[in-house]
Chains A and B, each alone.
Chain A
Amino acid sequence: MLDARILQAFDQSLLTLLWAVPVLGGIIILLLPREARGAIKWTMILASLAACALSTYVAVELWRMPQATIDNRWLFSVAWIPAVNVLYKVGVDGISGPMVFLTGVVSLMAAIASWNVADQRAKEYCTLFLLLLAGMMGTFVALDLFVFYVFWEVMLVPMYFLIGIWGGPQREYAAIKFFLYTLAGSVFMLIGFLVLYFNLRNPDNTLTFDMIALARNAQEASMENLFSPRLQFWVFAAMGVGFAIKVPMWPFHTWLPDAHVEAPTPISVILAGVLLKMGTYGFYRIGYPLTPLGAEAWRPIIAALAVIAIIYGAYCALAQQDFKKLVAYSSVSHMGFVMLGLAALTVNGLNGGLFQMFAHGCITSCLFLLVGVLYDRAHTRDLYAFGGLGTRLPKYTFCMMLAFFASMGLPGLAGFVAEFMVFSGAMPVYMWLTCLSIIGITITATYILYTLQRILLGPFNQRWSNLTDISGREALTLAPLLALTVVLGIFPGLLLKIQEPSVQALVDTMSRFAK
């Protein structure tokens, strides 16, 4: 009896722990003396490890018992600011579960990869890093629009400083651009949230920020024509701008190459691995269920923009000379697949989109880590400066081949499953757009093969004769991500099993509003 109660208490506090543990770690770091750099960095890593362990537990439990709805055993709700009906409400389902897991894993890898970066002003760096982690975890588990918004903004501030202080030569420009761009999006998002708050009253005529209640109210109101399609169109657009900037959807993507290029390696990893997924997650969690008719109206436009992003991002990547910028543009292209799957609104499309979010998180993190490995040693990212490294750096070559082929969507690796699911999901809905995006994969292959050739193949460039292969710590950060890529590529069912029930439920809900 007692055991059951303890277990229940654990379940309900688990999601809070996900963000509270990093905050606690941050507080401990603040209490440590500035000189104790080792202890500070170890605290950061251990806090990330704890968060990663908790998120892994969530993922494993979700895999054992997939949850279709979000009001499951982890749901925790308590009044926070009763005056404006704000609840502290957190929960996890098949859509947010994989993202929580991804955040845990990628952040741990980034924390380990921060070892050298964090030597400079260790105390500030580690605190900000943990604050960032708390913000990300909180965003993925929040079930109240107000709480969601708070976490969303909490993420922004540490990111600004992490790029602005520890970044490259153009860091201030990039940090301000990132901050203002995202903030501009958040403002629109907030307007959207407030419109929803004031328009979607509960049956007992009270106001609420609770996403679950709002979704229910929105769907009922839409059925009874009380929530006009025109209003939904604009609310979706307002929130969509906020999400689209984060994704980033074409044409809101230009903050991304700058921020990526200037950010230090671990922050690029977090940025590409987790932060971009916030945008698409917003569509899954808020955009679709809370304004179903708005989503319905915007879907074709989203699909078209997604295909533009896929092809345009790939072409831009092909033109880059900076290795990191190339990877940044490849993210624009790859996130386009998520948006295409979202726009299709079929089980395969949504499943593929979610799978792509996870796969891209792993693969692009690897790519940024690999860029970092090379940059740390050679102090250049110029693609034309290298050549023939394949003869001297066998481990690096192996990892890079694997990561790049995964990015290209080679079968047996996670990227293929995602792209294939998205294509198969979008094909019956937007046939011609899908055909166009399939043509886009040849451009992807082109820039990836050119990059591999420029760095690894060809005659060895003697300038790099004292370059060393990847170190143990670097291998430690790469191995889990590559392993996930391979395992999910061979057994996609592991992840699909978690997300399927929730995706099916979302499709069922949305199908009531299809034209």
Chain B
Amino acid sequence: MHALVAYAYLIPLLPLAAFVLIIFFGHRYFYRGSAWLAVLCTSASFVLSLAAFLHVLGGHGYVEPIRQDFTWIANFAPGAVDATGAALLHSSITLGVYIDRLAALMLMVVAGISTLTIFYSIGYMHEDPRYPRFFAYKSFFAFSMLGLVAAPNFFQMFVFWELVGLASYLLIGFWFEKTSASDAAKKAFITNRIGDVGFLIGLLLLFYYVGTVTFSDLTPDLLREKGFVGGMATFIGLALFCGAVGKSAQFPLHVWLPDAMEGPTSVSALIHSATMVAAGVYMIVRAYPVFAASETTLATIAAVGAITALGAAYIALTQTDIKRILAYSTLSQLGYMIFSCGCLGPVAAFFHLVTHACFKSLLFLGSGSVIHACHHEQDIRSMGSLRRYLPITHGTFLIACLALAGVFPLAGFFSKDEILLSAWHRYPAVFIIGEIVAALTAFYIFRLYFVAFGGERFRGTGVSPVQHGQDAHVTAGGQHGQDAHATPHESPWTMTLPLVILAILAVGVGWINWPWAERPWLAGFVHVEGGQHHHLSYLVMGVSTAAALLGLFFAWRKYSLGRALPPLEYSKVGFWYRLSLRKFWIDEFYKKYIVDGFTFGFCVVGMHDVFDRRIVDAFVNLCGRAYMLISAVHGLFDKYVVDGLVNFSAWFLALCSTVARRTQTGLAQSSLLILVLGLLVLIVWSAMMV
């Protein structure tokens, strides 16, 4: 295994190779083979990541992180100085891979889940007319995400940060004939760009303030030495946090994630739940000292995370689209991770990132299996008793639900407990919110479970207004159209195998950070100053277990025992229900006041264009006209004055010559007369002179 470490730089490059090969040659030469090529490359990346992980774990002693890089821009900002007036530590930009334990574990998560979802897509995307392109985009995503995770510095992270955004754009809009899909892709990109503005500003300011943006250099000691405190530290921290808010879909930039569910479900499983949306959390954990340098930044992070966790969980309570429920659940869980970062608990956040990646991608793949089985029906009210038809999907889905709800001893229990523990020690208010969210989480996920998998009969598509079926036929599998009311069927093995693997992980992955161990394993992955390891508290454990069971109990009582269905008529529901159903009207607010309202956004656009034509260009044309006017005046002057003078002189000469001609009669007497007259004049004149 250690021999493989020398090839660690191939971890992101292998999927890139798959992307290039498939995009240029896939459609023509290896249509079905493109999927296997993608699986091969990402699984090879996984093996390399595993080797790197085992290497940096290094038994007992500390092992230097793997560092393989090259200089991308050699002379970057030469001569510039940092805040203390010293020369910058790094006047160049390097790209490459930097793999410490944190990055290695994350690489394994990314490469592993990429492999599983790509494998799953072999069955899921089987009938799609753009089959090879899907795997090309998936490989491109894997490349970008692995490059992001392995980034040695903020520069590279930003580069790949944008590239994962592109991959996400391409995959959300994969079925771009649907207006809703292309709208969602666009919305995701632009919303992310808004966050990226902050990221870029923060990154550049950090570079000039501290003199380096290399992660291994950004230690608390260096930051203190460079005077990284106070207002500027807060500003930079918050600017960088903007990037995380965009990417990890935190309030108020969360609106793109639910819409991103327009993409194929295996995309949602990989990008919009497990990996890419966690990049914001990863960034904060990666450069934790930068954020921890300011109390204000931490408090803001905690507040944003807590608001998102609570709000999204509340919205998830009433949604009926299976993917949207999971999307809001993702928002809520990301909120957990973010507020944990704000509570000096980056280890807990990272731990939750890993466990969440397993059970949430399982939930999404399970829902994909359900959607596949129900002929592209996504409304849970049209499902029911699926446990009978889809035994494997049901079993794995139940495990994932229990893991998400945080039931002992599944993965979610341990990581959520760690998060709540850190909140308990830092901001008790956030702890209370976290416990409420835990109860809500158990409620909405088991509501989904009981409505879709429970019950005695399969309700079929007649129950709900058909709004998804129509879209589905455009894309994957037109032949499903005829038997839309047939009973569901279990998915092929290429789809169920990843479910089983992920289910095993969703059970066991929480044990890596066994809280009863002498020193929990993950604690050594991130060094936090001031955030000492909290010993396990049975109080916190007890409260969160009680919260989860409470939520589960209410969901069971209402939707399993009471056989209730979410209402179809929304006019009858009360305000609090509508508040959740309409997602606090945030989308409507943005649409009205920011996107296409007649208020700010497009008004400015229109004004610019009108201003450009009516004022700036009109002024130019006015100058032109004035010029023409002057030239017209000049022309008149030229014609009547200058040229008139010329003509006048010609006329005058002509006049003179006419007069003169009269004298030239040709007669001798006349000449003689003139001669005599001339002589006379001369004589008179000379006499006068004397």
Give the residues in chain B near A410, CB-CB below 8 Å. 162-163, 166
Highest count of chain A CB atoms <10 Å: which of B182, B185, B189: B182
User: How many pairs, one residue from A and one from B, have CB atoms within 8 Å of each other in the complex?
Assistant: 121
Q: How far is the CA of A390 from the CA of B78 in the complex (A)?
A: 44
The 3 closest A-B pairs by CB, nearest first: A319-B609, A457-B182, A315-B608
Contact A449 B186 (CB under 8 A): yes
Interface centre among B163, B616, B617, B620 (most CB of A within 10 A): B620
Query: Is A229 an interface residue when CB atoms closer than 8 A count as contact?
Result: no
Q: How far is the CB of B470 from chain A (nearest CB, A)?
A: 12
Residues on B with beta carbons closer than 8 Å to the beta carbon of A253 = 616
Residue of A255, A312, A388 near B608 (CB, 8 A) is A312
- A-B residue pairs in contact (CB < 8 Å), sample of 5: A348-B77, A424-B76, A445-B190, A458-B176, A507-B79
Residue among B80, B194, B208 having the largest count of chain A Cβ atoms under 10 Å? B80
Residues on B with C-beta less than 8 A from A412 are: 159, 163
A340-360 at interface with B (beta carbon < 8 Å): 346-348, 351
Residues of B within 8 A of A347 (CB): 75, 77-79
Q: Which residue from chain A places its CB closest to the CB of B162 in the assembled complex?
A: A411
**Size class of the A contact interface (CB-based, 8 Å):** 35 or more
Tell me if B73 and A492 are in contact (CB < 8 A): yes
Q: Is the CB of A438 within 8 A of B201?
A: yes
Of A177, A180, A347, A416, the most chain B CB neighbours within 10 A belong to: A347
Whether B159 contacts A411 by the Cβ 8 Å rule is yes
Chain B contacts to A: CB under 8 angstroms: 71-80, 158-160, 162-163, 166, 173, 176-177, 179, 182-183, 185-186, 189-190, 193-194, 197, 200-201, 204-205, 207-208, 604-606, 608-609, 612, 616-617, 619-620, 624, 627
With a CB–CB cut-off of 8 A, which chain B residues contact A446? 190
Residue A316 is within 8 A (CB to CB) of chain B in the complex: yes
Q: Which residues of B have CB within 8 Å of A458?
A: 176-177, 179, 182
Interface pair B605/A441, CB less than 8 Å apart: no
User: Given A181-B620, A405-B166, A449-B186, A439–B197 Cβ distance below 8 Å?
Assistant: yes
Residues of chain B contacted by A316 (CB below 8 angstroms): 608-609, 612
**Contact at B186–A254, with CB atoms within 8 Å?**
no
Is A69 engaged at the interface, CB distance under 8 Å to the other chain? no
Which chain B residues border A434 with CB–CB below 8 Å? Answer: 201, 204
Cβ–Cβ contact B605 & A319, under 8 A: yes
Minimum CB–CB distance from B413 to chain A (whole Å) comes to 39
Please name 8 further chain A to chain B contacts, defined as beta carbons within 8 Å, in addition to the given A254-B620, A453-B183, sorted by A numbering.
Answer: A254-B617, A255-B620, A318-B605, A319-B609, A348-B80, A388-B176, A424-B204, A442-B193
Residues of A near B609 (CB, < 8 A) are 315-316, 319-320
- Contacts of B197 on A, CB cut-off 8 Å? 438-439, 441-442
The answer to whether A425 touches B173 (Cβ under 8 A) is: no
Contact B176 A457 (CB under 8 A): yes
Inside 8 A of A346's CB, which chain B residues have their CB?
77, 79-80
In the bound complex, what is the Cα–Cα distance between A316 and B201 (angstroms)?
A: 24
- Give chain A residues whose Cβ lies under 8 Å from the Cβ of B179: 458-459
Distance (Å) between the CB of A33 and the closest chain B CB?
Answer: 40
The answer on a CB contact under 8 Å between A456 and B72 is no
Task: Specify which of A348, A405, A500, A504 lies most central, judged by the most chain B CB atoms within 10 Å of its CB.
Answer: A348
Q: Give the B-binding residues of A (Cβ under 8 A).
A: 177, 180-181, 251, 253-255, 312, 315-316, 318-320, 346-348, 351, 388, 390-391, 405, 410-412, 416-417, 421, 423-425, 427-428, 431, 434-435, 438-439, 441-442, 445-446, 449-450, 453, 456-460, 492-493, 496, 500, 504, 507
Q: Which residue of A lies closest to B618 (CB)?
A: A254
CB distance from A157 to the nearest CB of B (A): 19
User: Chain B residues near A425 (CB, 8 Å)?
Assistant: 77
Would B75 and A453 count as touching, CB distance under 8 A? no
A453 neighbours in B (Cβ, 8 Å): 182-183, 186
Is B200's CB under 8 angstroms from A438's CB? yes
A317–B205 Cα gap in the complex (Å)? 30
Question: Given A315-B608, A453-B186, is A496 in contact with B205 using a C-beta cutoff of 8 Å?
Answer: no
| Whole-angstrom distance between the Cβ of A408 and the nearest chain B Cβ | 9
- Closest chain A residue to B606 by CB distance? A319
Given contacts A315-B604, A504-B78, are A442 and B190 in contact (CB under 8 A)? yes
B40 to chain A, nearest CB (A): 24
B176 touches A456 (CB 8 A): yes
Within 8 Å CB of B162, what residues of A? 410-411, 416
Within the complex, which residue of A180, A427, A496 is in contact with B75, where a contact is CB–CB below 8 Å?
A496
Q: A411-B160, A427-B204, A445-B193 are in contact. Are A493 and B73 (CB under 8 A)?
A: yes
Closest chain B residue, CB of each to CB of A501: B75
Q: How far is the CA of A405 from the CA of B189 in the complex (A)?
A: 12
Contacting residue for B73 out of A312, A388, A457, A496, CB 8 A:
A496
User: Do A388 and B78 have beta carbons less than 8 Å apart?
Assistant: no
Smallest Cβ distance from A47 to chain B, in angstroms? 34
What chain A residues lie within 8 Å of B158 (beta carbons)?
Answer: 411
Q: Which residue of B lies closest to A417 (CB)?
A: B73
Give Cα distance in the complex from A459 to B176, angstroms. Answer: 8
Instruction: Choose one: B177, B205, B624; the contact of A427 (CB below 8 Å).
Output: B205
Contact pick for A348, options B76, B606, B624, CB 8 Å: B76
How many angstroms between the C-alpha atoms of A405 and B140 in the bound complex?
15
